[in-house]
Structure formats: C-alpha cells, structure tokens
Amino acid sequence: MKKINLMIPLAFLSILTFHCANEEATVKSDKTINFSAKIGTETFSCATATYSGLGSGANDTITQKDFRFYIHDVKLSGSNGTDYSLSLNQDGIWQYNSVVLLDFEDGTGNCTGTTAPTTGTNSQVKGSVEMPSGVSITGIKFKLGVPLSLNHNDRASAPAPLNNTGLYWAWSSGYKFARLDFDSQRFDGNPDATTAAFNIHLGSTRCNASGTTASTSCTDENRPEISLTYTEGQTVVADLKKLLEDTDLATANAAGAPGCMSGNNDPECRSVLNNFGINFSYNGSSTARGLSDGSTTIQTYNTSGQKFFRIE
Ligand SMILES: [Ca+2]
Ligand SMILES: [Ca+2]
Ligand SMILES: [Cu+2]
C-alpha cells in the first residue's frame, strides 16, 4: 500500500516537469553590445582637432571635449514579440545594478578641457539574457540616464560608475545623464576669434528637493526610452551631429547656461532635449530658438522622436 501511494504522485510530477520543460525551454547566454560615439560619420576622439558642418545651418565647427552618458534597463527584443532584460555583469567599474556608463573620453587632448576627465573608456554593455530557445534578437531598448532609485544618493560614497564628480550635479537633481561638452566657433561667415562653450548636460529637472537634500521625484525626469531595431553584431551609435541638427549654432548660446544644461528656462534645450526624445517644458522669457511668446508660464514642446541613437 505504501509503495503504491508514493508512486502515483511521483509519476504525476514527472509528467508535469516534462510538459513544462518542453513548452518553456530557455537558454541563458552572454551578450556584448557595442556602442560607438560619432559626430556625423566621424568617430569621436579627444585627439581630433575639430569637426565641421554642425548645427541647423550645417556651418559650425566645433572642438569636442567630452562624450559620456549613462544608460539603464537594457532589454533585448525577441522575434516572438517579448522583451527580455539584460542582466548586467557587475564589474565594479562601468556597470552597477542596471546602470552602465558609456565613456568615450580618455582624458587626453581636447578632453583635458572638460570637468573631471578620466583615462578609462568604455564602449560596451556586457551581460546575460535568458530567452526561449529558437527566439532571435530583433531589437534593443534602453533608457538614457540613471534610474530614480540611484539618482539622488551621495555621490561621494556611491559605487563606480556613479562616483564621478564630472557627472553629478547635486543630491536634489542627481546625475548628469549625458555630458557632451564642446567649444563652438559660432560660424557666421567668419569663425570667431574666440570660441564659445556649448555644454550639453542632460538630467532631471523640477525635482522636489533642493541643495543637498535628496529628491524623491522630479517633474521632468528626462529619461527617454530608446527603442531600436537591432540584430546581434550591430553597433549602437550615438551621434552628436544628429542631436544638434535642429540647433542654430551661429549663436552658441541665446540664454541660460552656456549650451543646454536641461534648465526649463533655457531656449537651447528645446531642440537638444527634443532630439534626445524628450518633451521640453519651457518657462523662460526668451523667444530665441523658436520659442513662441516669451511668457514665463510653462509651455510644452513635444519631441518628434529621438535622433541621437541609431544602429549601424
Ligand atoms: Ca573617460
Ligand atoms: Ca543656454
Ligand atoms: Cu551643467
């Protein structure tokens, strides 16, 4: 009697296991995703003297000083229509939790002119993904920036890559999600004798705390989700020239901080944030850059889609 009682549930269990294994056989595999920083067709390097043909007039010449950005929540889209999260290798340098720092400046040449340059560079995202066998990768999704849960911590005690002074504002506003600083020659027929700094610092704004107090929310999170058609072996390209193709660089800075530091009162942020894929809330008084009425009530300028990233 005892023998029979034991055999029935065991037989039932083994049928169940077989059934599940057949339907949901998954394969875990390591993935490396290559990124590249470009300015048009040219690959960014701190050693390259200048890049030309930038801005809406395609007539500005710039000296690039920095090219760093954070991404998080990387997912690979399967041919079955499902997205699968990439579990990042925790390397203690570039990847922490779900965040990766992509760093294309090596602290030499023109990049000595940025804030807190570092000699190290990173152009890869490394992790593993578990997908059903037979499903191929047809796309990639990621969010630009640092997630809210890690964005308002104490940088001084934060783990790498969240410990760089050059990529941090303050506890209230958090990290610079992207830092793409350059010097513009403000081309207006004749390059100016002196260049003008155009700093692109993307980050969250209108956060609910100020100074050294950590915020718990921000009205303008400024974390666009990027979605690209992608197959394994291709490269995700970040292109500053595309980001700036709607910005008139004949006047490097019309108002606010030099360039665009994500400020809601900064006219340069309209085209820059829109081309990151972000709706821009403007409350400044300048009518430069196609801003309509100069009132200081908030006006929203919607993005027509991100232009910064593409696949090659
Ligand atoms: Ca670096
Ligand atoms: Ca500005
Ligand atoms: Cu800034």
**What pLDDT is recorded for position 23?**
56
Counting Cα atoms < 13 Å in the Cβ hemisphere of 38 gives 17
Tokens of 145: 């920036």
**What pLDDT is recorded for position 220?**
97
Pick the ligand that lies closest to the CA of residue 291. 2
Question: How far is ligand 1, taken at its centre, from the CA of residue 111, in Å?
Answer: 9
To the question of pTM greater than 0.75 for the whole model, the response is yes
Pick the ligand that lies closest to the CA of residue 46. 1
Pick the ligand that lies closest to the CA of residue 103. 1
**What pLDDT is recorded for position 24?**
66
Question: How far is ligand 2, taken at its centre, from the CA of residue 253, in Å?
Answer: 5
**What pLDDT is recorded for position 292?**
83
Residues with CB under 5 A from ligand 2 (ion): 253, 256, 266, 268
Question: How far is ligand 2, taken at its centre, from the CA of residue 259, in Å?
Answer: 4
Tokens of 306: 């991100």
Question: How far is ligand 3, taken at its centre, from the CA of residue 140, in Å?
Answer: 29
Question: How far is ligand 3, taken at its centre, from the CA of residue 199, in Å?
Answer: 7
Strands 168-170 and 95-96: unpaired
Q: What is the spatial distance between Cα 212 and Cα 119, in angstroms, rounded to a whole number?
A: 29
Question: How far is ligand 1, taken at its centre, from the CA of residue 117, in Å?
Answer: 6
**What pLDDT is recorded for position 224?**
98
Per-residue pLDDT of the chain (312 residues), as tens digits, is 344 444 444 444 444 444 444 456 999 999 999 999 999 999 999 999 999 999 999 999 999 999 999 999 999 999 999 999 999 999 999 999 999 999 999 999 999 999 999 999 999 999 999 999 999 999 999 999 999 999 998 899 999 999 999 999 888 889 999 999 999 998 766 667 678 999 999 999 999 998 788 899 999 999 999 999 999 999 999 999 999 999 999 888 999 999 999 999 999 999 999 999 999 999 999 999 989 877 888 999 999 999 999 999
**What pLDDT is recorded for position 246?**
97
**What pLDDT is recorded for position 106?**
98
- CA geometry: angle 129, 306, 130, nearest 5 deg: 5
Tokens of 265: 């009162």
Question: How far is ligand 1, taken at its centre, from the CA of residue 235, in Å?
Answer: 20
Count of CB atoms situated within 10 Å of the CB of 129 = 19
Q: Name the CA radius of gyration of the chain, rounded.
A: 23
Q: What is the spatial distance between Cα 10 and Cα 8, in angstroms, rounded to a whole number?
A: 5
Q: What is the spatial distance between Cα 83 and Cα 228, in angstroms, rounded to a whole number?
A: 12
Q: Which sequence spans correspond to the domains of the chain?
A: 2-311
**What pLDDT is recorded for position 174?**
94
SS3 145: coil
Question: How far is ligand 3, taken at its centre, from the CA of residue 27, in Å?
Answer: 43
